[in-house]
Amino acid sequence: MKKSALKPLVAIAAAGLLLTACAPTGGTAAEVAGVQISEADVDATIENCESVGVPLVDEVNTRGNVVFSMAAGEIARQGEIFGDAQPDPAMVDEMMAASFPADILANPECGEFLTGAMTFNTALQGLQMTMSPEDFTDELTRVVTSFDLNPRYGRVKMQEGGGALVETGSLSTPAGM
């Protein structure tokens, strides 16, 4: 084989290595803001929420949705990305107490998961009230694209109108349910 014929193959292999370097490694479900969310963390969250009667995975909601919500919760916990729209933790605690029984919130993994999701959604609502629809969509896109999901859990796709959707994971690497 001629050297000139090898150049495209080398370029493809190099690009694949670069993409692999950016993606979470085996055992990691996602990486967001420098924090890795392990597959064991995902399993523990699902199991703990199920143990208190909050099923997170069903026919509609996949493990990919759970991973996305865990990444969103991490972004919300760090707070920097939302600026002035970051909700007051006391307000979130009140909303959680009004929305869920105490035994669910007392479960560390499930309570943390639900609180992170509530904080993220509340922050998004705060942003939405202070921005034009176009600016909000741009900001949501910026926030969501900061999540680095393991491809087996799907990818986040922005929908027309500003919503985020977790598309099904890679067929060659099943995400499982």
Which CA distances in Å does 62 have to 53, 120, 122? 17, 19, 22
- Is 12 inside a domain boundary? no
Q: What is the pTM of this model?
A: 0.75
Our count of domains for the chain comes to 1
Tell how strand 28-32 and strand 35-38 pair up. Answer: antiparallel
DSSP type of residue 82: G
- Is 152 inside a domain boundary? yes
Residue-level pLDDT, tens digit, the chain, 177 residues: 444 433 333 333 333 333 333 445 578 999 988 899 999 999 999 999 999 999 998 877 888 889 989 999 998 888 777 778 889 999 999 999 999 999 999 999 999 999 999 999 998 888 888 888 888 888 888 888 888 888 888 777 777 766 667 776 554 544 443
- Is 148 inside a domain boundary? yes
Residues in the chain: 177
- Is 112 inside a domain boundary? yes
- Is 17 inside a domain boundary? no
151 token code pair = 């491809």
Q: What is the pLDDT of residues 79-130, one digit of tens each?
A: 777 778 889 999 999 999 999 999 999 999 999 999 999 999 998 888 888 8
- Is 177 inside a domain boundary? no
- Is 59 inside a domain boundary? yes
pLDDT of residue 111: 95
- Is 109 inside a domain boundary? yes
SS3 category, 37: strand
User: In Å, how far from its chain's centre is CA 50?
Assistant: 19
Residue 141 sits in which domain range?
31-167
Pairwise CA distance, residues 133 & 21, whole Å:
35
pLDDT of residue 14: 32
